[in-house]
């Protein structure tokens, strides 16, 4: 996770990278990650803007559709 943040601060933009995570209760969740670097007026990195989207239901529905075909 830290490496992903470092890549983003250094200019890498992430658009929909899908990862699997487990909740504290042991439940599987699928997350799409979107992130981009934040820079000051001089172009120096000052942070990361990010969004995590839970797409677990979508992944499950896609799996069911593939199985039905």
Predicted pLDDT of residue 10:
85
Evaluate whether 56 touches 28 at the Cβ level (below 8 Å). yes
Residue 19 parent element (H or E): strand 14-22
Helix, coil or strand: residue 12? coil
Predicted pLDDT of residue 22:
96
**Does the pLDDT of residue 1 top 80, yes or no?**
no
Predicted pLDDT of residue 9:
84
Separation of alpha carbons 50 and 38, rounded Å = 10
Residue 51 parent element (H or E): strand 45-54
Q: 8-67: per-residue pLDDT in tens? A: 888 889 888 999 999 999 999 999 999 999 999 999 989 899 999 999 999 999 999 999
Q: Is the pTM of this model over 0.85?
A: no
* Alpha carbon separation from 50 to 3, 11, 36, 58, 69 (Å, rounded): 15, 13, 6, 21, 36
């Amino acid at each position: 996770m830290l490496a992903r943040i470092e890549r983003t601060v250094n200019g890498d933009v992430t658009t929909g990278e899908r990862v699997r995570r487990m909740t504290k209760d042991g439940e599987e969740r699928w997350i799409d990650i979107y992130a981009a670097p934040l820079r000051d007026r001089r172009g120096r990195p000052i942070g990361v803007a990010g969004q995590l989207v839970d797409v677990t239901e979508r992944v499950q529905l896609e799996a069911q559709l593939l199985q039905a075909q």
